[in-house]
Chain A
Amino acid sequence: MVKSIWFIVAVTMSVHAQDADVQRDCLSCHQTQQIPNSLIYKRYLMKYSTKTAIENAMIKYLKNPKKSESIMPSAFFLKFPMRKGLIMPETMLHQNIRSFIETFDVKKKLKIKVN
């Protein structure tokens, strides 16, 4: 019983820790610059459909940002400057992107209206 409680606490803390990392490493900067995170995620979703494909596309872009490979239209970069490639440990990068995807996952928002 004690072991189970410790396990649940550990998992919860780990999830929160991941959310905190995304907040610190990605979203805080986006929020400061007023970059619409939800819109970016929806554009990825509309182009790649699956979470795996979105994750791979994001990693590719973050490691080597190019206008031609960005999900955003070129006009977007008139307001928001293109940043340099992200230097972050691979594991952390993957964790952050998965956390980002989970944060904005539309599946959580979908519901059936009860008439």
Chain B
Amino acid sequence: MLASEKRSLIRFLVIYLASTLLLFSLASWIFYSSTKHHLLDKQRDRIVYEAEGIKSKLRGLHQSNDVTLYYPNHSEIDSAIYDLDKKYIFGTFEPPVDLDTMLKKDRLYYLSKVEPYYLGAAYLLTARNIDYVPIYALQKQILFFLLLAGLVFSTLGYFLGRLFVSPMRDAIARMNLFIQDTTHELNTPISTILTNIEMIETFGKHEENMDELKRIEIASMTLSRIYDDLTYLNLNHQYYRKIEKLNIGVLLKERLVYFTSMLEVKKIDTVLNIQDDITLNIDKNDALRLVDNLLSNAIKYNKRYGKLNVILDDTMLCIGDTGIGMSKNDLSEVKQRFKRANKSEGGFGIGLHIVSQVCENYDFDLQIESTINEGTEVKIVW
């Protein structure tokens, strides 16, 4: 699976599952609240029923002439009677409950009026402990349902996601195939042109056509780099990397010589601050792509008579230009594949994508700062 495809699939799954979870959670919460109230109402109905029974027994006690009056006692339900001033008369609560502070957690209360006032009782308070067994059973049921729904919808979402990204996968596969074919077809003519230019420069009489030859050479070098970049992109994760100690200072200077023709055409002044002994453990092709793309961008988007600043020390490589620069919006997207911040110059928009991939592979920190019409500075910190 391609990285972009994987990313799209993960994004889709996150949005899809989060919205589904939110919807199911909301529905479950409404169902839970309603069912819990129903269960509590059933338990409350029981104490209402028992309260009526106690009232009936109070009537019997009131009419009794016995020396001792046995107050109705229930194993699950506590009760107490209060006079018209809500003063406690008698009850089974331990300790006696004050009507104003009776509300306690985990208990259900029912206060009813007694009329007439048997035994002087104007109010009867009944209470019982909440039976949590059915509520816990309900919670388990809902949790099980949510887990099951989560499993079903995750599986469904995964297959739906794969289905949705399949056109994108096909398009990318077709494009990769096209790039592969194109690069293969480009390789031979570019090599032929470059070799012949070199032969003319070495053996031929070229003084009269020096400028034309330079332009052909620059164009061929550009084509050659595009070929290298496209090949690198196409084979990025598939070719063998030989990690070795590489002197970056030497490589940087070599590549600056390689870009001399382009620098001369644009009359760009180079300011170099390169330490020679900087080595990195890196594959040579990766280092080449990194340096070439940074230098090529700094030359391509520079102004005529601009400046190219190259700094290399033991902590970082910094390449800056005094060119057209980029906006903040472009900066956030510039590392994406085929993204071109400025279309005035040629290119495929793969240079900084390759740079960011190399940085990612070697855990380098890529920092880009840019101001429109002032220039861009790319810093790679290792």
Chain A residues proximal to chain B, CB less than 8 Å: 38, 42, 45-53, 106-107, 109-113, 115
Contact = CB atoms under 8 A, between A and B. Distances in A.
B95 interface: no
A44 to B, nearest CB: 9
A49 B83 contact: yes
Contacts of B116: 46-47
A104 to B, nearest CB: 11
Nearest to B118: A46
B188 interface: no
A22 to B, nearest CB: 20
A49 B117 contact: yes
Given A50-B83, A53-B84, A113 B69 contact: no
Chain A binding surface, main DSSP class: helix
27 contacts: A45-B62, A45-B117, A45-B119, A45-B120, A46-B116, A46-B117, A46-B120, A47-B116, A48-B117, A49-B83, A49-B84, A49-B117, A49-B120, A49-B122, A50-B87, A52-B85, A106-B69, A106-B119, A107-B90, A109-B68, A110-B61, A110-B69, A110-B90, A111-B69, A112-B92, A113-B70, A115-B73
Interface string B65-96: 11111110100000000011101011010000
Interface in B126-166: none
Contacts of B121: 49
Contact of A112 (B71, B89, B118): B71
B71 to A, nearest CB: 5
A52 B84 CA distance: 10
A50 B71 contact: no
Nearest to B64: A109
B84 A111 contact: no
A38 to B, nearest CB: 7
A25 B199 CA distance: 147
Interface string B91-123: 010000000000000000000000011111110
